[in-house]
């Protein structure tokens, strides 16, 4: 073990010789390949010009290039954490050399190089379990009990019909039911199959993580699926480890391996004792670089994920409530269907029913057994059809359709839904707790101010040389960002927006050379930045004079509190007394009041003996520092964010800003965004610091949480505490987060919204919805879509319950009073198809309107069927029942037609009533039901298809649908009766309703 701990030191000495050997071998192979190609062409001439294309023979070269190492031993090395085997390979750098990877500059990264590595070691993908086929959903649809009963009835009817009337005439009744049943099954299967495909697409998008790698001397972002063995991967807090690998360098790197081992304790990764990193684990703290040794199915994570399929049967709270509603309505339908069955059977066997010719259908023993069975099957089929009609299985379908549709449209609006329930829960949100940086602001940082001592520096030439060096050291070494300079001299900065802003300012304004500074110093210890500490520090040794220095960078007031002296404009060190400290605090407040993010730099030189005595503590000194300077970084507000905030407030949703910035910056940004009003700006209860909120008693927090608009200098724990308080007060809370430490808050919130650009993988996995563009306006769009989902479901419930109520009442009254079922089994199934599938398709795909944001949030405990819906559906159902029963009992005499045409009139009027009522259902409260109808092409298409199919059913499929052709006058009468739904709907909407839910009156 002792020998192993010295491996990095031993390796550094011969590393140049290793590289020289590698270069020699590489070029000798290239030369040999060139001579071999030339010899095969019987010529030793070099090509005079380069061809305009390159042919890559990947398979031939891949094995030879990596002949000294194989993927099995590499994969086993990491899986078994085998330090002895790693030593045999020559340590981590020995493995990197064997993989033709430069530990500093990465792999070459050309297409041929990547392809060879994928052939030799595999790609970073894993086979998914096969997706469910269309046939699977067809089989699932057949499992519905009512469908099975109908199929049995249809089969019996088919058999007896053919036996009695022959094949040519006898198949109509049973065949019609079969066709109708298969049509319902097909539509249901197609809808579920398409939804499943949609989930698969979303799953692929959500798994496509961007990874930072070093290729061809440059840090760049690639898809996780493009990572290959030999890649040098840069890891930061919150990143997911994209493949198995070995630790190269870094500081304070801790990894959460719970996804692999189940252990909740974070594991420290370092070069000496534990250099092993596993795919699928998360970086909990620190940063580092790794060399990839295994990808895809050669990793434990890949093998595990290949057996897991995403569960697309997640049931949302709304679906659970709808299932209860469906069950209740189904019980009523079952009761009515049973009564219809009993009454019909009694009437038949007592001789009270007559056939088409007026003869009694049952005459005891004189009636043939086939006729009795046929009659009983017909009665059962009608009862089952009433049951099918009454069960609103279209409700779950409507939810599925509207959720799938809204998810697809939300994706286009820069929001990716990870959990279905979030779609509908967002519609009930009463409070949104949002971050500042990148959400309310553009996250385009630029250094606009720098203070040295008490002086604002406009020209870098006025900075004293000794201070200039300290600034450059503090920026170049205490950073997770990188700088790449291409062949033309163009600079490319990478890292967080704050790091990029500081690096670009220091390079372009102060002439910093990061490479030289890093080469001349050795970093001894690092304390990485996180949202709780709000600062980062390094302990470093200068190689030129062997002196040891501490550099800190972070939130200005926190760094200032650690300082006991400062550098003035001339470069002299001056003591920091109380008056001077107050002066610096005023400078910080002044910059913050102009919406600048304030960052301070501090330094301290440590005596050698002091470092040696404290070396074992591994803690960077945090007191008696010297303040180098103060920096102001501008991050402008996003265009349109004020309008988005006002839209939320108008919709009854409170917007609270929770930020790590100081109270003055937070107040300035909140006022600019419209979160703070002019009268609240000086209100101490509206703007609070996280520490103050934390120190409140639980009772005080509950009293004041509603009044707080801005929480500054907050930690992730403060955010979590606020969310818990808001939820206890009955709020439905949506919260945005991007950091690893935001994960508890994102999980605790009713809707967790992570940031797609700045968000860490840990934050994304803890969230319900990912905001792909990090924009607050997209959060508002999610809110609008959430309300739209709920509103669309309510529209469909109103429409379907109207049909259910009317159909059940008509059939029950007709059977009990006259022993006749006005609508046949096929006709009922056709109405069911219109109502369930086509109706759901038309009403569940309405797009969000501005009206949705004019209402207060709907509570999650509010009844699904509101008083307004009861008013609308009862009025329409009563009209349909009265009209259709009139046609049932007096239709023959009114129109002077026979019973067959009268039944067709009833069927046609009933269907057309639903078509016209579908327009009424578009607007639950508004009187103008046609507003915005031209935007919903799908609605118009469904209406058009329904009308065309109805004409075909009545005019051309007479034997199939058991109808008679109608003349022009009869069609006009049906349309006129159905069209009355519109004026009735208009008049009914003028009737005021009580706010108290209708069903609560029944409890009294």
Q: Which residues are catalytic?
A: 435
Tokens 């069950």 belong to 327
d(Cα 180, Cα 920) in Å, to the nearest integer? Answer: 27
Q: How far apart are CA 97 and CA 90, in angstroms?
A: 9
Cα–Cα separations (whole angstroms), residue 464 to 449, 452, 459, 474, 571? 17, 10, 11, 15, 5
In angstroms, rounded to a whole number, what is the distance separating the alpha carbons of residues 294 and 358?
84
Structure tokens at 383: 């009862």
With a CB cutoff of 8 Å and minimum separation 6, the contacts of 54 are 112
Dist. CA 824–CA 354, nearest whole Å: 16
Continuous segment of H or E residues that includes residue 252? strand 244-256
Beta bridge partners of 213: 220, 233
Total residues belonging to the chain: 1004
Q: Which residues pair with residue 859 across a beta bridge?
A: none
423/432 Cα distance (integer angstroms) = 15
Distance between CA 864 and CA 320 in Å, rounded? 12
- 3-state secondary structure at position 106: strand
User: 862: burial class by Cβ within 10 Å (0-12, 13-18, 19+)?
Assistant: exposed
* Residue 841 contacts residue 938 (beta carbons within 8 Å): yes
Q: What letter does residue 107 receive in the DSSP assignment? A: B
Closest CA relative to residue 388, chosen from 174, 157, 149, 138: 149
How many Cβ atoms are within 10 Å of 301's Cβ, its own excluded? 22
Question: Which secondary structure element, helix H or strand E, spans residue 207, and what is its range?
Answer: helix 172-207
Cβ atoms of 396 and 319 within 8 Å: the answer is yes
> What distance lies between CA 122 and its chain's CA centroid?
30
Residue 272, both tokens? 């000496």
Q: How many helices (H) and strands (E) does the chain have?
A: 40, 26
How many CA atoms lie within 13 Å of 337's alpha carbon, on the beta-carbon side?
22
For the chain, report the end-to-end CA distance as a whole number of angstroms: 80
* Torsion angle defined by CA atoms of residues 110, 116, 117 and 122, in that order, rounded to the nearest 10 degrees: 130
Q: How far is CA 714 from CA 247, 267, 658, 687, 717, in A?
A: 33, 27, 7, 12, 8
Give the containing element (helix H, strand E) for 254. strand 244-256
Do residues 491 and 512 touch, judged by C-beta distance below 8 A? Answer: no
- Provide the token pair at 62: 């891949």
How many Cβ atoms from other residues are within 10 Å of residue 475's Cβ?
A: 24
Closest by CA to 420, choosing from 433, 434, 405, is 405
What residues contact 887, with CB distance under 8 A and at least 6 apart? 894, 902, 905, 906, 909
Measured CA to CA, the distance from residue 282 to residue 291 in angstroms comes to 16
Burial of residue 845 (number of CB atoms within 10 Å: 0-12, 13-18, 19+): buried
CA distance 203 to 264: 26
**If phi over 0 gives left and psi between -120 and 50 gives alpha, with beta otherwise, what is residue 372?**
alpha
What is the token pair recorded at 273?
Answer: 């004792």
Helix axis angle, 899-921 relative to 968-979, nearest 10°? 40
């Amino acid at each position: 073990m002792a020998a192993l701990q010295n491996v990095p030191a031993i390796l550094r000495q011969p590393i140049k010789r290793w590289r020289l050997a590698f270069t020699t071998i590489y070029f000798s192979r290239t030369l040999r390949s060139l001579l071999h190609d030339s010899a095969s062409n019987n010529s030793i001439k070099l090509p005079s010009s380069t061809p305009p294309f390159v042919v890559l023979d990947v398979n031939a070269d891949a094995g030879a290039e990596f002949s000294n190492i194989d993927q099995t031993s590499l994969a086993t090395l990491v899986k078994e954490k085998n330090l002895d085997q790693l030593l045999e390979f020559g340590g981590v750098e020995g493995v990197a050399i064997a993989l033709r990877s430069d530990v500093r500059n990465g792999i070459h990264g050309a297409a041929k190089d990547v392809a060879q590595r994928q052939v030799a070691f595999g790609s970073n993908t894993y086979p998914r379990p096969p997706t469910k086929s269309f046939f699977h959903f067809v089989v699932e649809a057949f499992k519905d009990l009512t469908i099975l009963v109908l199929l049995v009835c249809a089969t019996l009817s088919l058999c007896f019909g053919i036996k009695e009337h022959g094949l040519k005439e006898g198949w109509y009744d049973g065949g019609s039911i079969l066709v109708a049943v298969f049509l319902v099954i097909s539509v249901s299967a197609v809808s579920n199959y398409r939804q499943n495909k949609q989930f698969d697409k979303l799953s692929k998008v959500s798994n496509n993580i961007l990874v930072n790698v070093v290729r061809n001397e440059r840090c760049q972002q690639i898809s996780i699926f493009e990572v290959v063995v030999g890649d040098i991967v840069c890891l930061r807090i919150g990143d997911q480890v994209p493949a198995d690998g070995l630790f190269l360098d870094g500081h304070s790197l801790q990894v959460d391996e719970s996804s692999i081992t189940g252990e909740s304790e974070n594991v420290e990764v370092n070069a000496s004792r534990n250099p092993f990193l596993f795919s699928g684990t998360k970086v909990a703290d620190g940063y580092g670089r790794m060399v990839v040794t295994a990808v895809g199915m050669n990793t434990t994570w890949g093998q595990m994920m290949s057996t897991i399929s995403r569960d697309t049967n997640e049931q949302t709270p709304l679906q659970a409530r709808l299932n209860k509603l469906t069950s209740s309505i189904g019980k009523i339908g079952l009761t009515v269907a049973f009564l219809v069955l009993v009454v019909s059977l009694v009437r038949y066997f007592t001789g009270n029913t007559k056939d088409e010719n007026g003869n009694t259908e049952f005459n005891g023993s004189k009636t043939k057994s086939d006729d009795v069975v046929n009659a009983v099957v017909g009665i059962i089929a009608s009862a089952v059809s009433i049951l099918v009609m009454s069960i609103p299985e279209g409700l779950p379908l409507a939810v599925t359709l509207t959720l799938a549709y809204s998810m697809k449209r939300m994706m286009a609006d820069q929001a990716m839904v990870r959990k279905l329930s979030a779609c509908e829960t967002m519609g009930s949100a009463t409070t949104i707790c949002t971050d500042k940086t990148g959400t309310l602001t553009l996250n385009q940082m630029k250094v606009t101010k720098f203070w040295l001592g008490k002086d604002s520096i406009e020209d870098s030439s006025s900075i004293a040389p000794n201070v200039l060096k300290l600034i450059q050291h503090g920026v170049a070494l205490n950073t997770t960002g990188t700088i790449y300079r291409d062949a033309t001299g163009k600079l490319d900065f990478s890292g967080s927006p704050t790091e990029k802003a500081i690096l670009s300012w220091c390079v372009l304004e102060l002439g910093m050379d990061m490479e030289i500074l890093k080469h001349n110093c050795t970093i001894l210890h690092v304390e990485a930045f996180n949202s709780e500490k709000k600062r980062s520090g390094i302990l470093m040794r200068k190689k030129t004079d062997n002196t040891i220095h501490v550099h800190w960078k972070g939130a200005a007031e926190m760094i200032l509190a650690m300082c006991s002296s400062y550098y003035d404009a001339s470069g002299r060190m001056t003591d920091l007394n109380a008056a001077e400290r107050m002066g610096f605090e005023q400078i910080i407040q002044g910059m913050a009041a102009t919406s600048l993010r304030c960052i301070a730099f501090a330094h301290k030189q440590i005596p050698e003996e002091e470092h040696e005595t404290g070396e074992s503590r591994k803690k960077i000194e945090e007191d008696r520092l010297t303040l180098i300077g103060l920096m102001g970084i501008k991050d402008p507000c996003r265009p349109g964010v004020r309008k988005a905030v006002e839209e939320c407030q108008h919709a009854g949703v409170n917007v609270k800003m929770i930020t790590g910035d100081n109270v003055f910056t937070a107040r300035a940004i909140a006022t600019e965004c419209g979160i703070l009003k002019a009268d609240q700006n000086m209100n101490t209860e509206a703007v609070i610091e996280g520490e103050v909120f934390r120190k409140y008693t639980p009772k005080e927090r509950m009293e004041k949480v509603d009044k707080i608009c801005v929480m500054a200098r907050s930690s992730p724990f403060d955010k979590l505490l606020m969310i818990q308080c808001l939820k206890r007060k009955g709020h439905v809370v949506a919260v945005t987060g991007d950091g690893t430490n935001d994960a508890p808050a994102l999980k605790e919130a009713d809707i967790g919204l992570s940031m797609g650009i700045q968000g860490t993988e840990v934050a994304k996995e803890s969230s319900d919805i990912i905001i792909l563009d990090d924009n607050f306006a997209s959060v508002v769009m999610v809110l609008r879509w959430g309300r739209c989902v709920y509103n669309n479901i309510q529209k469909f419930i109103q429409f379907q319950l109207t049909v259910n109520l009317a159909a059940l009442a008509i059939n029950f009254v007709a059977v009990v009073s006259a022993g006749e079922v006005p609508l046949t089994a096929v006709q009922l199934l056709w109405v069911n198809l219109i109502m369930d599938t086509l109706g759901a398709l038309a009403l569940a795909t309405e797009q969000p309107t501005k009206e949705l944001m004019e209402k207060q949030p709907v509570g999650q405990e509010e009844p699904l069927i509101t008083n307004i819906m009861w008013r609308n559906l009862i009025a329409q159902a009563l009209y349909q029942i009265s009209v259709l029963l009139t046609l049932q009992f007096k239709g023959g005499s009114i129109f002077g037609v026979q019973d067959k045409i009268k039944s067709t009139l009833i069927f046609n009027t009933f269907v057309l009533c639903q078509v016209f009522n579908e327009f009424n259902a578009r607007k639950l409260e508004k009187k103008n039901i046609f507003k915005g109808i031209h935007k919903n092409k799908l609605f118009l298409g469904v209406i058009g298809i329904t009308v065309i199919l109805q004409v075909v059913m009545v005019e051309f499929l007479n034997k199939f649908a058991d109808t008679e052709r109608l003349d022009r006058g009869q069609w006009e009468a049906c349309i006129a009766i159905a069209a009355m739904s519109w004026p009735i709907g208009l008049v009914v909407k003028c009737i005021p309703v009580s706010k108290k839910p209708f069903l609560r009156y029944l409890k009294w």
